[in-house]
């Protein structure tokens, strides 16, 4: 059974049958890191029990543990890592009674996660996207050239299932690493503002600016390449549906499209969430300044201009009375035009007000489905609803309607690994959606 075909009950049953579980206190994690370092120093050769005891001695010393019980604690730790499938044990020479050990894939993955420098850069993301583009071009070219069974297995099925999927997983991992960096920056800003906020404003602004710039840079790279990748996947899916061997690979294309969509959407949401956080921090700083009982900023300003003649700069104040009088006369002469009221038909209506009114109208339209427990076929509802609006408003209306629909509930078929729904047209201009029927409110 492949990973894609497993349903949620299958996964739960598998975890229960395999009795999987992890318990990694700091001492165990430190031992894993020590084993990996010794393993790398031994040119990836299998390790003996003496090597593991040697690694544990560093951990025991680092955690200031007593030496008398070191051997027994080392044996317990080794057995614990073997039991958790982080370390593999192989029986060595029977006469010597010694065993050989190697880190498992899970153990190596945990060590790499904590030990490697998880660098996030536009160059790294661009290279990953370039690999995906190259693989998709190779797949499309191979399908169009009537491949033999070996070419199909290697350049179509193999690249689609393994290479493209792995590259998208790496892009997703890069994005998650950026999530971790955002949380680290937020913790750093919180620590700065807690300790000495009026001294840390410049540092906070720099952190906010640099992180926001990195997010926008990465998202621009994703947007530039993402739409091309989506089109390539759609073209490959159409080719596979026309090929007798490609029917079972079409769902793989759909899953890759869904994953790529999620990556691009989350990138946009990250920028929006970071902008809100940036605004929140600046509001906090302004509020802190207004409520500063000690008047720290005022005092610093006074100190900066006190005895200014002794510094290498001077403060000069310009005061132009004619200019002030001219401004006062101008305001008086045109007071009615400046303070007058606009007619109601010329008043500006903010987009936020328009969106709020539309959301309320859409919410009232969709609530009837939830009240009557009637299944909500989102594609048909979109198609019917968009008929009352011009084409240039369809995207915004569809976005608002989908936002309100997902608040009502979800489709029960999603939870049990059902097949992807079919694409449905929603207007006469070629727009399509792929949505499950919402039947759980």
Identify whether the C-beta of residue 103 lies closer than 8 Å to the C-beta of residue 47. no
∠ CA 230-378-385 to the nearest 5 degrees? Answer: 105
- Final residue in a domain of this structure, among 270, 290, 310: 290
Task: Please indicate, yes or no, if residue 308 is contained in any of the structural domains.
Answer: no
Tokens of 354: 């328009």
| CATH number of the CATH domain containing 416 | 1.10.225.40
Residue span of the structural domain in which 423 resides:
351-433
Task: State whether 254 and 377 are in the same domain.
Answer: no
* 185 close to 207: Cβ distance less than 8 angstroms: yes
Contacts of 226 (CB under 8 A, 6+ apart): 129, 260, 263, 264
**Helix (H) or strand (E) run with residue 249 in it:** none
By three-state DSSP, how is residue 103 classified? strand
Q: Which helix (H) or strand (E) holds 425?
A: strand 424-425
The answer to the question of residue 372 being in a domain is: yes
pLDDT given for residue 335 in this prediction:
47
- Distance separating alpha carbons of residues 51 and 100, to the nearest angstrom: 10
Verify that 355 and 403 share a domain, yes or no: yes
Alpha carbon of residue 104 to chain centroid? 28
User: Distance from CA of residue 100 to its chain's centroid?
Assistant: 40
CA-wise closest residue to 139 among 160, 118, 113: 160
Q: Are residues 174 and 86 in the same domain?
A: no
Whether 139 and 283 share a structural domain: yes
**279: nearest Cα among 212, 340, 214, 333:** 212
Instruction: Measure the CA–CA gap between 81 and 22, rounded to whole angstroms.
Output: 9
Does 128 share its domain with 271? yes
Q: Looking at the domain assignment, is residue 376 inside a domain? A: yes
Same domain, 202 and 86: no
Look at residue 326 and tell me if it is in a domain: no
Q: What is the CATH number of the domain that holds 27?
A: 1.10.10.10
Place of tokens 């040119």: 43
Helix (H) or strand (E) holding 180: helix 165-196
Strands 47-48 and 87-91: unpaired
- β-partners of residue 87 are 103
| One domain, residues 14 and 102 | yes
User: pLDDT tens digits for 401-425?
Assistant: 887 787 777 777 666 656 677 788 8
In a domain, 337, yes or no: no
Dihedral sign of CA atoms 55, 61, 63, 69 in order: positive
Q: Which residues of the chain have pLDDT under 70?
A: 1-5, 40-44, 92-97, 115-120, 195-199, 288-357, 413-419
Structural contact between residues 113 and 103, judged by C-beta atoms closer than 8 angstroms: no
The answer to whether residues 22 and 87 touch, using CB atoms and an 8 Å cutoff, is no
Cβ atoms of 405 and 367 closer than 8 Å: no
Residue 333 lies in a domain: no
Check: CB of residue 52 under 8 Å from CB of residue 90.
Answer: no
Compute the distance between CA of residue 418 and CA of residue 435 in angstroms, rounded to an integer.
Answer: 12
The answer to whether position 245 is within a domain reads: yes
- Residue 328 confidence (pLDDT): 47
Same domain assignment for residues 60 and 98: yes
The answer to whether residues 68 and 14 touch, using CB atoms and an 8 Å cutoff, is no
- What does the alpha-carbon distance between residue 289 and residue 283 come to, in Å, rounded to a whole number? 10
Q: Could you tell me which residues are beta bridge partners of residue 90?
A: 100
Domain end (from 115, 146, 161): 115
The total domain count for the chain is 3
pLDDT per position as a tens digit, 172-185: 888 888 888 888 88
DSSP label at residue 44? T
Token pair 């859409």 is found at: 362
pLDDT given for residue 352 in this prediction = 46
CB-based contacts of 142: which residues, under 8 Å, 6+ apart? 151, 152, 155, 156
Give the chain's count of helices (H) and strands (E): 17, 5
Q: Which of 93, 115, 137 is the last residue of a domain?
A: 115
Q: Does 271 reside within a domain? A: yes
- What token pair was written down for 70? 């070191």
CATH number of the domain residue 158 falls in: 1.20.58.590
With H, G, I as helix, E, B as strand and everything else as coil, classify residue 428. Answer: coil
In this structure, the answer to whether residues 48 and 137 fall within a common structural domain is no
> 91 in helix, strand or coil?
strand
Q: Indicate if 149 and 280 belong to the same structural domain.
A: yes
Please give the DSSP secondary-structure letter assigned to residue 440. B
Q: Are residues 281 and 384 in the same domain?
A: no
Give the per-residue pLDDT at 294. Answer: 56
Indicate whether 134 and 225 sit together in one domain. yes
* pTM passes above 0.75: no
CA distances to 201, 292, 295 from 189, rounded to whole Å, are 9, 19, 22
């Amino acid at each position: 059974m492949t990973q894609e075909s497993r349903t949620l009950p299958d996964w739960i049953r598998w975890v229960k049958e395999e009795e999987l579980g992890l318990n990694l206190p700091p001492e165990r994690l430190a031992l894993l890191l020590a084993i990996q370092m010794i393993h790398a120093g031994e040119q990836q050769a299998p390790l003996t029990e003496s090597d593991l005891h040697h690694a544990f001695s560093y951990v025991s010393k680092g955690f200031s543990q007593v030496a008398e019980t070191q051997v027994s604690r080392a044996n317990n730790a080794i057995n614990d890592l073997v039991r958790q499938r982080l370390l593999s044990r192989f029986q060595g020479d029977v006469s010597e009674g010694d065993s050989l050990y190697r880190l498992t894939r899970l153990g190596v993955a945990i060590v790499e996660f904590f030990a490697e420098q998880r660098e996030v850069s536009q160059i790294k993301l661009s290279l990953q996207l370039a690999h995906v583009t190259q693989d998709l071009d190779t797949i499309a070219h191979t399908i169009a050239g009537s491949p033999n069974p070996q070419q199909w297995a290697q350049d179509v099925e193999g690249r689609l299932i393994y290479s493209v999927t792995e590259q998208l997983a790496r892009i997703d991992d890069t994005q998650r690493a950026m999530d971790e960096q955002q949380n680290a920056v937020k913790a750093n800003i919180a620590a700065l503002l807690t300790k000495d906020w009026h001294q840390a404003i410049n540092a906070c602004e720099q952190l906010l600016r640099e992180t926001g710039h990195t997010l926008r840079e990465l998202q621009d790279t994703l947007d530039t390449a993402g739409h091309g990748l989506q089109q390539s996947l759609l073209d490959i899916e159409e080719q596979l549906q026309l090929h007798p061997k490609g029917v079972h690979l079409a769902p793989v294309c759909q899953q890759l499209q869904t994953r790529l969509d999620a990556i691009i959407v989350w990138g946009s949401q990250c920028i929006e969430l970071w902008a809100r956080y940036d605004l929140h921090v600046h509001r906090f700083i302004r509020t802190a300044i207004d409520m500063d009982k000690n008047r720290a900023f005022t005092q610093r300003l006074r100190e900066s201009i006190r005895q200014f003649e002794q510094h290498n700069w001077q403060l000069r104040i310009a005061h132009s009375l004619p200019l002030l009088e001219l401004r006062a006369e101008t305001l008086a002469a045109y007071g009615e035009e400046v303070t007058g009221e606009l007619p109601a038909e010329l008043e500006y209506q903010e987009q936020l007000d328009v969106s709020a009114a539309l959301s309320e109208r859409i919410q009232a339209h969709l609530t009837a489905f939830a009240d009557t427990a009637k299944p909500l076929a989102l594609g048909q509802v979109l198609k019917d609803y968009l008929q009352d609006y011009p084409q240039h408003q369809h995207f915004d209306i569809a976005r608002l309607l989908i936002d309100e629909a997902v608040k009502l509930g979800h489709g029960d078929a999603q939870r049990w690994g059902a097949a992807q729904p079919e694409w449905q047209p929603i207007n006469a201009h070629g727009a399509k959606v792929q949505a499950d029927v919402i039947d759980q409110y």
